[in-house]
Structure 1
Amino acid sequence: MATRFYRRFLCLSFVLLLALGFSTHASAAAETIRVGVLKFGTVNWELDTIKHHKFDEKHGIDVDVRFFASEDATNVAMMAGDVDIIVTDWLWVSRQRQSGEDLTFVPYSSSVGALMVPVDSPIKSLADLKGRKIGVAGGPLDKSWLLMQGYAKHQFSLDLPANSEIIYGTPPLLAEKAQQGELEAVLNFWNFCARLEANGFRRLVSTSDAARALGATGNVSAIGYIFHEKWAHAHPDAIAGFIKASREAKALLGSSNEEWQRLAPVVKAEGRALEILRDRYREGIPARSVEDEEADAIRLYAILAELGGERLVGPGKTLAPGTFWRTD
């Protein structure tokens, strides 16, 4: 009897050890991906969705979010190898590739800024901005501002910087000045535009409108997830899992209003402001092929290189090959 009990005890112990071994192995198999983002950036909405619903675990990875105070800080962290993925634009990726780096780009969002004016403003088109006081976020080499200038020249033969008073500043400061009536129009980042829209402003022209007028065939994903090709080739399952988790989070944010209610404290908005931010975010979810995205980026790069010169794009005259990541 004792012998039979001892045998059962050994079998049970063996099964438990196997189970623990499989559990430990499964846990170890989840590869950590370090993602560097701005602490209060809109990318956090998607990353929060990924973590809350465990989409990363579902696809065999563990997303470790690292917060930074500025875009320059995330760029430095990427180049130093302190993070695996950051979010920035394909223009920066192309410039780095032309310098010998192997960075590459997966489209994240085509949500872009817009020129905003008060809802009762007499300004009806870019032509009406002549002689006006315009706030511009991002500085004189901001891509949206350059495209807006190109559109004004193309459509109305108007040199905006030469014929208007341009005030450069940070997005929150310019949004505040616009609401206080100190600016007659403001070109701001998309999320600040959405908040202005909820507070009595309307879109005059979006950056997407300008891009299409200058040759783009659709909404171009201005920003994307950036990583080193060498890292991606060394961790193919990890990057594939991350892209799948990202797409799953986007699908949920694109279809579930309840998910946005859950995210309200993260977004720091409620009511109409939350609804407009939700809708503008959804408009920016990429839906085009990499080939179409890349073709439009090539067209816009040529325009930006002409308008911004070497200070913006560096010595490269065309978009660097490999800027857009391809899995095949």
Structure 2
Amino acid sequence: MSQSVRALTGLIALLALSGATRAEKTIDVGLQAGGTLSWVTFAIQRYGIDKQLGFTLNATTYASKDATRVALRSGAAQVVVDDFIEVTLLRQKNFPVSAVYPFSLLAGGIVVPQSSDIRAVADLKGKTLGATSLTDKTLLILRAYTKATAGFDVQDASKVVSVSSPLMEQFMNRGEIQAGIPFWHHTARMVAGGTFRQLISSGDLLKGLGLPQTVPLLYLIARTDTDPTTLGLFVKAVRLAEDRMKADDSFWPAMLDANLYVLPDRGQLPALRTQWAAGLPTHWTTADLNATLLLTRKMIAVAGPDVVGLTRLDTRAFNTSYQP
């Protein structure tokens, strides 16, 4: 073979390699430190699901939820997890994003000490209740529930104080609050320890308001300029990873060893795992979107648009076409 033919052959091979590199499907995912999306992306990469589906997952961890929102707005991240209120707010500010698939249902609930005389939601009247913030979604749902079923707004008839989720156990042990609304994973751990019990679940609060118990709270929120084929593959990878996580006992210690969650008492891992699985969505339809719309209306009716953060939910911010 002549030198010129060899050179031409090498050039063709180089161009082919370059074209293949450009054609490679990649997606940039923003993770909140300590968030459960990091568990799922860890599983996707651990099992090689992204490679099996023909794309590359690039995951970047950010220190806070606000940081992931900045990353999404700037384009540094193409996909993050956030709630149904935030996606509407982003759209109202003309950011090109949409909620493409539910990531987690409204989970957790109201927790009280095992020995508490609080036996029903109506017993919260006059008590001190801890919540992570006055805009906490479960607190807003509880307000609508007590107004509809017990004749009072728990925000007015009780004392609601701001307490970080990890500290609620200590505050209840000291008697500074009589009930709390921790994050779902702290709820699972507190109840598993035997010292606390769940007064009512978020699902039962929803049921009491005439809504399905499977209303999504968190969504995969993607920039609308993300390649739709790659985005669809990522959504599928999430579902496949969740199925593997549910079945694989070895995954959970590995996830903890990777420092993706701090669990001092690993004896509580089964409870954490069970509660996580209970919060996984199994479908994404217009009925789910309508339930979210009705829930938002109930929250606005009881708390007002200033507390909820918007006057109405923009259903155009949601895309039900991505079905894994």
Identity rate, percent: 27
Map of 1:38 onto structure 2: 32
Deviations 1:214-258 (A, max 9, x none): 1212311100111122x13xx122101111110111111222333
Map of 2:228 onto structure 1: 236
Partner amino acid, structure 2, of 1:252: R
Partner amino acid, structure 1, of 2:236: K
Partner amino acid, structure 2, of 1:301: T
Does the alignment pair 1:202 with 2:197?
yes
Contact between 1:111 and 1:280, CA under 8 Å: does it hold in 2?
no
Q: CA deviation at 1:86?
A: 1.0
Q: Distance in 2 between matches of 1:135 and 1:314?
A: 21
Match for 1:306 among 295, 301, 308? 301
Q: Distance in 2 between matches of 1:208 and 1:256?
A: 26
Q: CA deviation at 1:177?
A: 2.1
Query: Runs of 5+ in structure 2 lacking a partner?
Result: none
Alignment of 1:188-267 (within 5 A): 188-199=182-193, 200-229=195-224, 231-232=225-226, 235-265=227-257, 266-267=260-261
Of residues 56-65 and 296-305 in structure 1, the stretch that sits farther from structure 2 once superposed is 56-65
Q: Distance in 2 between matches of 1:315 and 1:123?
A: 33
- Structure with greater Cα Rg: 1
Contact between 2:102 and 2:284, CA under 8 Å: does it hold in 1?
no
Q: CA deviation at 1:27?
A: 5.6
Alignment of 1:60-209 (within 5 A): 60-105=54-99, 106-137=101-132, 139-199=133-193, 200-209=195-204
- Name the TM-score, length of structure 2 as normaliser: 0.87
Q: Distance in 1 between matches of 2:124 and 2:308?
A: 28
Contact between 2:189 and 2:272, CA under 8 Å: does it hold in 1?
yes
Structure 1 residues 249 and 64: CA distance shift in structure 2, 3 A: same
Structure 1 residues 315 and 165: CA distance shift in structure 2, 3 A: closer
Does the alignment pair 1:58 with 2:23?
no
Map of 1:327 onto structure 2: 321
Contact between 1:95 and 1:313, CA under 8 Å: does it hold in 2?
no
- Name the TM-score, length of structure 1 as normaliser: 0.86
Q: Distance in 2 between matches of 1:53 and 1:251?
A: 11
Q: CA deviation at 1:287?
A: 1.0
**In the comparison of the two structures, how many residue pairs are matched?**
312
Does the alignment pair 1:294 with 2:289?
yes
Of residues 245-254 and 176-185 in structure 1, the stretch that sits farther from structure 2 once superposed is 176-185
Structure 1 residues 315 and 219: CA distance shift in structure 2, 3 A: closer
Aligned with 2:142: secondary structure?
helix
Q: CA deviation at 1:167?
A: 1.5
Query: Runs of 5+ in structure 1 lacking a partner?
Result: 1-5
Structure 1 residues 23 and 141: CA distance shift in structure 2, 3 A: same
Q: Distance in 1 between matches of 2:137 and 2:113?
A: 23
Contact between 2:135 and 2:308, CA under 8 Å: does it hold in 1?
no
Q: Distance in 1 between matches of 2:20 and 2:117?
A: 63
Q: CA deviation at 1:315?
A: 5.3
Structure 1 residues 40 and 178: CA distance shift in structure 2, 3 A: same
Q: Distance in 2 between matches of 1:308 and 1:102?
A: 29
